[in-house]
Amino acid sequence: MNENIKKVNEVLEDFYKLFFKTEDMALKRGIKCLTHTELHLIEAIGQDSLTMNELAERIGITMGTATVAVSKLTEKGFIARVRSNSDRRKVFVSLTPKGAKALAYHNNYHKMIMSTLTEDIADKDLTHFIEVFEVILNALRGKTDYFKPLLITEFPIGTKVSVVEIKGTPIVQNFFASHGIENFTVLEIMESNNKDNFILKKTDGDLLVLDILDAKNLIGIKNE
């Protein structure tokens, strides 16, 4: 890592740590019953009515994580869930009036803090900053596939995948644990001649042959 890249990394890390710290302080003053993560989920829904799949896709989390978060926010009165009349398998989520107020508070905080941070910066310097940061942002958008969590069965043969979630009952999770598979375990997708089986190669070279349904309990991201 050259010196400029190292400095960019340090500046971005320091900014986000401090920005999130001030955001947490604002939360404690205004909406004490929400966590940072819950507030960002409310922000992701906004004025829309989304299916659970759409919400998970929008914020880049697994369905399991989204379901847990939405359940908590529903209990707190910030989100409403409605099952589709045309397809009972689909559940739509939207903000309640309480959720809309939390979103407005959050948006006003962002406007205030950004206005305060940039008030002494010349317009030409802000314009240059925006141009450079948009280049960085577009580069990051191009890499989102590497960070998108998917069922491990959805990755192409030969892909190395890092496990980010193990679904299923405790028995299923214990099964994977007994084979050395836990969060952040890296596995390679191998070719199988049996459509009902799914083969994974561990970093030690051992092969694990799974039933296709069992394999779908593993959620991962690309490890390349």
Among 21-25, 33-37, 98-102, name the most confident range: 98-102
| Residues whose CB is less than 8 angstroms from the CB of residue 67 and which lie 6 or more positions away in sequence, other chains included | 52
Confidence of residue 145 (pLDDT cuts 50, 70, 90): low
Q: Is the pLDDT of residue 2 over 70?
A: yes
Tell me what the mean pLDDT of segment 136-143 comes to. Answer: 84
Q: Is the pLDDT of residue 147 over 80?
A: no
Distance, CA of 191 to CA of 189 (rounded, Å): 7
Each domain of the chain, given as residue ranges in start order, spans: 3-141, 150-222
DSSP state of 66: H
Q: Do domains 3-141 and 150-222 have the same CATH topology?
A: no
Percent of the chain residues topping a pLDDT of 70: 98
> Does 3-141 carry CATH code 1.10.10.10?
yes
Tell me what the mean pLDDT of segment 129-144 comes to. Answer: 87
Q: From start to end of 79-216, where are the E strands?
A: 79-83, 91-95, 150-151, 160-166, 186-190, 197-202, 207-211
Half-sphere CA count of 7, side-chain side, radius 13 A? 3
- Note the pLDDT tens digit of each residue in 73-100: 999 999 999 987 777 778 899 999 999 9
- Note the pLDDT tens digit of each residue in 201-218: 998 999 999 999 899 999
This prediction's pTM? 0.61
Least confident of 62-76, 138-152, 164-178: 138-152
Q: What mean pLDDT, rounded, does the chain reach?
A: 88
As its CATH architecture, domain 150-222 has Roll (2.30)
**CB 44 within 8 Å of CB 57:** no
Distances (CA, A) of 218 to 47, 96, 178, 182, 196: 32, 33, 15, 9, 16
Percent of the chain residues topping a pLDDT of 90: 40
